[in-house]
Amino acid sequence: MTMERRNFLKLLGAGASAATLGLAGCASGPKYTGGRKVVVIGGGYGGTIAAKYIRMMDATIEVTLIERNDHFVSCPFSNLYLGGILPDLSSLTIKYDKLAANHGIKVVQAEVTGIDAAAHSVTTSAGVFKYDSLVVSPGVEFRTDEIKGYDHDVMPHAWKAGPQTVLLRKQLEAMKPGGTVVLSIPLAPFRCPPGPYERTSMIAMYLKEHKPGSKIIVLDANPDIVSKKGLFLKGWKKHYEGIIDYRPAKKVTEVDNKKMTVLIEGIEEVKGDVINVIPPQKAGHIAHVAGLVGPDGKWCPVNPMTFESTLKKDIHVIGDSSIAGAMPKSGYSANSEAKVCATNIVARMNSRELTEMSGVNTCYSFLSAKEAVSVTGVYQVDKEKHAIVAVKGSVGVSPDLSELEAVYAQSWVKNILTEMST
């Protein structure tokens, strides 16, 4: 379904509550008698924004952001580096010094190894931190045990941006013309539903320009293209006829790193010169260690209004790790969820009424160096279902491949990374 931008803005206006805008409700809520210390785990799309908005809304709350790295590399736009549009990952890399200084956030570079919900403490490689409220936004972990023989040094996933992305690009550069790239896509849900299909487009573009006679075989475990199907098919036909060989319902279960083959359901073997295996995913490792994962063994159930874990009190899970109903696992969703979560943590600590959840997502995908497409949605809580659902009529894709969408996309990534880092 396509949707006029004007209609979308109207819906966004109607759907965007105070929570999206970071305004706490004023009416009186249950009396809060706890302390004012918040710890945030993960300095990515969700964590940076939760830490920042809590401090922006109430500077009397002490916020500590714990992240294992001293920098963060954005997955959004990393496919453009694989396609050769970006020369390196520097424009996608942020540091934490300005965020810390501008908002008085204590940033600690450390690995979080444990969470004690009863003691309200977090154990890290740099010591123990006490909290009154904890926000967990650790992204995803890979279910590599479901792919026998998997070794990401041979068949990179490049599904966490950084050295893996650089490795995959080097492998593409080193491949001989006329070679075969194999890309395997796991069963949904996974981080960024349109991401694998944007990657297919970007690798195909690279092959078309730099490796004549080469092709990319896409082995999709899903029965069909998961997101923006019509637009991807249109773009592939327009730009990459004969280069992309898309095969649905092909689940990779085993690999042979020496023979450079993947095995589908133990039967069909496919050989590649470069193999990009995106394994199935689950919540970040720390969420499993802390007992935040639900009965599905993969993702963290949360209260859709506050993102508080339904399993552990005073711990909120946002971003890819959480089960956020209809909201896709995207950076924009994580950003939106972080603002709702921050708003309601601040409201609770100030004995104010909670604000109704309202979220927004737009995911852009590049089809060529100049053309992109997008999918957009506005989300709220359905009180009967007690789950996040899409606002009726709000979800839609852009009408066609468009150079203007590519301009919007460039602006989106610049804005969101600036918001995360300043």
Ligand X SMILES: Cc1cc2nc3c(=O)[nH]c(=O)nc-3n(C[C@H](O)[C@H](O)[C@H](O)COP(=O)(O)OP(=O)(O)OC[C@H]3O[C@@H](n4cnc5c(N)ncnc54)[C@H](O)[C@@H]3O)c2cc1C
Site membership for ligand X, residue 191 (CB under 6 A): yes
The mark string for 343-372 relative to ligand X (x by CB under 6 A, - otherwise) is --------------------xx--------
Closest to ligand X by CB, 272 or 377: 377
Rounded to whole angstroms, what are the CA distances from 349 to 35, 57, 342, 353? 8, 11, 11, 10
Contacts of 101 (CB under 8 A, 6+ apart): none
Closest to ligand X by CB, 78 or 355: 78
Nearest distance in Å: CB 74, ligand X: 7
Applying CB under 6 A, among 15, 22, 43, 280 the residue interacting with ligand X is 43
Pairing of strands 112-116, 106-109: unpaired
Residue count at the site for ligand X (CB under 6 A)?
38
Cis upstream peptide for 189 (omega within 30°): yes
* Beta-sheet strands, E only, within 90-214: 93-95, 106-109, 112-116, 121-124, 127-130, 133-136, 140-142, 180-185
Site membership for ligand X, residue 156 (CB under 6 A): no
The pair of structure tokens assigned to 394 is 């709000």
**Nearest to 373, CA basis, from 243, 245, 232:** 232
Cα–Cα distance measured from residue 328 to residue 376, given in angstroms and rounded to the nearest whole number: 10
Site membership for ligand X, residue 47 (CB under 6 A): yes
Q: Residues in the chain, how many? A: 422
Q: Residues 125 to 144: which contact ligand X by CB under 6 A?
A: 137-139
Applying CB under 6 A, among 25, 284, 325, 359 the residue interacting with ligand X is 284
Q: Which stretch binds ligand X (CB under 6 A): 56-64, 248-256, 262-270, 329-337?
A: 329-337
Q: Residues 79 to 98: which contact ligand X by CB under 6 A?
A: 79
Pairing of strands 244-247, 215-220: parallel
Closest to ligand X by CB, 139 or 280: 139
Nearest distance in Å: CB 167, ligand X: 14
Residue whose entry in the numeric block shows the structure tokens 């995959």: 168
Closest to ligand X by CB, 68 or 130: 68
The pair of structure tokens assigned to 120 is 């309200």
Which residue number places its CB atom closest to ligand X?
A: 44
Site membership for ligand X, residue 159 (CB under 6 A): yes
Determine phi and psi for 76, rounding to 5 degrees: -55, 130
At residue 171, the 3 state secondary structure works out as helix
Site membership for ligand X, residue 306 (CB under 6 A): no
Residue whose entry in the numeric block shows the structure tokens 């990374």: 417
Pairing of strands 37-41, 62-67: parallel
Site membership for ligand X, residue 337 (CB under 6 A): no
Applying CB under 6 A, among 62, 111, 146, 356 the residue interacting with ligand X is 111
Site membership for ligand X, residue 331 (CB under 6 A): yes
* Beta-sheet strands, E only, within 198-320: 215-220, 244-247, 252-256, 261-264, 268-271, 274-277, 281-283, 300-301, 315-317
Nearest distance in Å: CB 321, ligand X: 6
Closest to ligand X by CB, 277 or 334: 334
Cα–Cα distance measured from residue 225 to residue 349, given in angstroms and rounded to the nearest whole number: 44
CB atoms closer than 10 angstroms to residue 296: 10
Q: Which stretch binds ligand X (CB under 6 A): 60-68, 171-179, 222-230, 243-251?
A: 60-68
Closest to ligand X by CB, 175 or 317: 317
The pair of structure tokens assigned to 300 is 């963290």
Contacts of 13 (CB under 8 A, 6+ apart): none
Q: Which stretch binds ligand X (CB under 6 A): 36-44, 206-214, 295-303, 390-398?
A: 36-44
Site membership for ligand X, residue 73 (CB under 6 A): no
Q: Which stretch binds ligand X (CB under 6 A): 27-35, 61-69, 302-310, 371-379?
A: 61-69
Q: Which stretch binds ligand X (CB under 6 A): 32-40, 71-79, 267-275, 309-317?
A: 71-79
Cα–Cα distance measured from residue 204 to residue 83, given in angstroms and rounded to the nearest whole number: 8
Site membership for ligand X, residue 330 (CB under 6 A): yes
Site membership for ligand X, residue 319 (CB under 6 A): yes
Residue 317 near residue 298 (C-beta atoms within 8 A): no
Residue 73 near residue 84 (C-beta atoms within 8 A): no
Nearest distance in Å: CB 348, ligand X: 21
Q: Which stretch binds ligand X (CB under 6 A): 14-22, 43-51, 204-212, 390-398?
A: 43-51
Applying CB under 6 A, among 45, 150, 232, 236 the residue interacting with ligand X is 45
At residue 136, the 3 state secondary structure works out as strand
Binding stretches for ligand X (CB under 6 A): 41-47, 66-69, 72, 75-76, 78-79, 111-112, 137-139, 159, 191-192, 195, 199, 284, 286, 319-321, 329-332, 334, 363-364
